[in-house]
Amino acid sequence: MSPLSSTDAPTQGEDSTETEDTDATPASDAVREAMLEQLTGELGDALVGHHIEPGIDLTVRVTAAAWAETAAFLRTGMGFGYFNFLSAIDWLPSPFGRDMDSQVDLTLEQDEDADAGDADIEPMEQGLAGGDTRFQVLARVNDIVDHRGVTLKADVPDDMTVPSWVEVYRGANWHEREAWEMFGITFAGHPGLRHIYLPGEFEGNPMRKDYPLLARRVKPWPGIVDVEAMPDDADAGGDNEDASTTSADPADAGESTDAS
């Protein structure tokens, strides 16, 4: 079906310039604007940033102190009963540059700038709805009745602790354990933060940008298959000659034995 309905399509001979200009203008989103207004009324100054992509999504940033409060209001006050995911992000540009990337990326980077390794580290950019800290927690919940969704984010303070969502959304349990394990973020009130993927004695948080993945220094990822060089003809001939000489010795010994 055409993206234009019969009522939207210009009639024959009608100039379509007006339609094109209208399409180029960002559309409003009454549903998400109403959601934002309701959240602002409930959270007040605790809602510190937002971004609406009309027809796509609403992203809201709240303070860390209001992280769990926001989850509770979304579920009980706005009908967002479906927990989608919770995770974290480290906005620090990698101090290793592209050193940890695949060989293809490394080659492209070297072609573009031979001195890329000497470039200054880029400033942090916290994405939609902004941010003030290196680490942020993110989550998404949905209202499956009215088909609405909202993405939440919050700056993680210096003590690397934010309130847990487990009391509101039980499904957040393992998501918070993963974020704790990979980023080192503590979720206050979580019933049992413990490793999921890594052994208990493991030190460090592998998803932090400053965590050195030593395995990639030994062999860059994706790993390049080690292929042994094929022997040249001379070497191959020498090996065959040695083999034939060696195989003849037992026969000779056998003949000598029989002769005796």
pLDDT (tens digit per residue) in 119-158: 555 778 899 999 999 999 999 999 999 999 999 999 999 9
The phi and psi torsions of 184 (rounded to 5 degrees) equal: 80, 25
Whole-angstrom Cα distance, residue 6 to residue 182?
52
Whole-angstrom Cα distance, residue 160 to residue 138?
14
Whole-angstrom Cα distance, residue 76 to residue 78?
6
Q: What is the pLDDT of residue 150?
A: 98
Domain spanning 27-91+126-212 has what CATH number?
A: 3.30.460.80
User: DSSP state, 91?
Assistant: -
> Higher pLDDT residue, 56 or 247?
56
Q: Which residues contact 80 (CB under 8 A, 6 or more apart)?
A: 74, 141, 142, 143, 148, 150
Split at pLDDT 50, 70, 90, the class of 23 is low
Instruction: Give the β-pairing of 57-62 and 148-155.
Output: parallel
Q: Is the pLDDT at 238 greater than 90, yes or no?
A: no
